[in-house]
A and B are shown apart, each in its own frame.
Chain A
Amino acid sequence: MVTTNNTNTYIVAPTTWEVTMPKQPSFAARTGATQADVTGDASTYTCQFTTENYDQGGDFDGTSTFTAPVTANYLFSVSIRATQLTAAMTSGSMTIVASGYTWYHLVNPGSIMNSATQHTFAGSINMRMVAASTCIIYLKIDSGTKVVDIVNSDSSAFAGTLVN
């Protein structure tokens, strides 16, 4: 089965019957170089994902922002590997801000960091977005100094897809 209009093929099911939707808005991106000294002193940092794995609809700006092309439900997942955490940093949050809503993922970095002073913030959320609204990821670590880095493009990534 192939569903098309005059210009594009939207739904494809080849003879092996796996269904693909090559025009469905969907993206995945990783961080590039280390983002150094971005928070720790309660600064709110806009996380950057400059290495795109793919961006089917052209809706991710190649840095930090996904803009919903249509009003629909979207699934987002994010992981942020932070390093240079200290025991003094007793509160922090990774937030997903989308279409006027803010979801806070709250942690105590000082108590859960590993021996290499690192922690990977991770979360996913399914949310309705209004067309032309944006989804952006922020990181904020409190009670220390501005020494926290975001590292490792293998474990710091942002992805999203239109679900329905």
Chain B
Amino acid sequence: MRRCAQGLALVLILVFTCAYILDDMALLLAGGTLLCALSGQYLLFDHRFRKVVTSIQVQRTPERSQVRKGTTLRVSTTVSVTVPHPMSVKITEQLPPQVVIQDGNTEADAGPDPAPQTCQFRYRITPVVHGNVQFPGISLSVRNAFFENSIDLFSEAFSGPGLVIQPVGFFEPSSRRSSAESREVEKLKVVSGFGIRALREYYAGDDFRRIDWKLSAKHNKLFVREYSGMVTMPPLLIIDLPWRGAPYPEHDLNRMVSAVTGMAEHSIRSFQYVSILIISGPNILHFTPQEKDLQQGIAVLREWMHPVERTVHQYRIPDRADIRGAVRHLEMVIIEGKNSRVNAFSDSLRKKYISMLAHMQVPAFAGQVARTLASIEIDEIYLFTLGCGDSSHIRQVIRQAKIAQMVIHTRIPDARVHIINPDSIYKGADTLETFT
């Protein structure tokens, strides 16, 4: 019952009370007819409410039926509804508790129209818990001038389909797993080089300048060199998006969007394509390899460039190489042996580090980055980050880029340069640049 109907109900009670006390038939008539009007409006509203509910048809289409935990997927829901004249309807898509919504619309309003209306919900969700997930259905709220009613439509006609969410480990599996009779060997994808040179016998018509005279003299037969073609290798743009759950500099994010867009546009114009890897902390959100269409590239950036929900968080996770470096430093201190107390402490710490090294596992994020870098032909990376929050993942990206022998440039907002310590976090990067 809405405010107007509540007020009328109060008037009705007042009129009936006065009629009872004063024993006045005019008051009884006024109250009785008001009761008729309110009851009639309620019955009419209920009748139309049922008509609205029975007219609803829902069709829901997730992008995939099986995803890994933390993967963002697009869902499209079409709701068809017929709304009678004085009613208005609000439809809300209900999401399972195991997912978080990244963006998009899950609410729609529909006004009165005798013809069936279609409402479209397009949104993206990220599962945060593994297991089987079922889309529960929709919520419907119907109102007119006097009454409102809502109902959760979770029956079979409005729910589904199911979504299978595969678990994701926090660490990479060990490279060698062996049991009594079998052994598992995992290899990264081999990327063929682009500077391959072939030698073959001379055929009539070949360019004399390509004859390898030394080899020809050795074998007493003419050999020519086959040069590989020149290829352009555009940079990979890695964009580290801020977490939605923590404060972030909004102004810097806007500038990062401009900087990334400009770089993507420049890359497509200069190199014909661009590769974009979107991460948020230790979560890989989206990867667009070798996008040639500028509009598509801009659309991807427009779709993703906003704070997102993170399913995995890291806090000051050291790298194996860092630990090994610390061990080497402690060994040097022990060898120098200036102070016995310092030596004892360094030795104890070294042992702790060594025992840590024995049990340290590679984070899954580092493995994902390594596989991503191995799948494309690049030699230069631009990493855009706001530099807020934990930076363990930045370190892992830089480390994997250096392992793959790529040049990596990190770009942060100029306002953050004075806050972060570039020596500790970004020391592996080739350059630390700012965007304004």
Partners in one complex: no
Residues of B within 8 A of A (CB): none
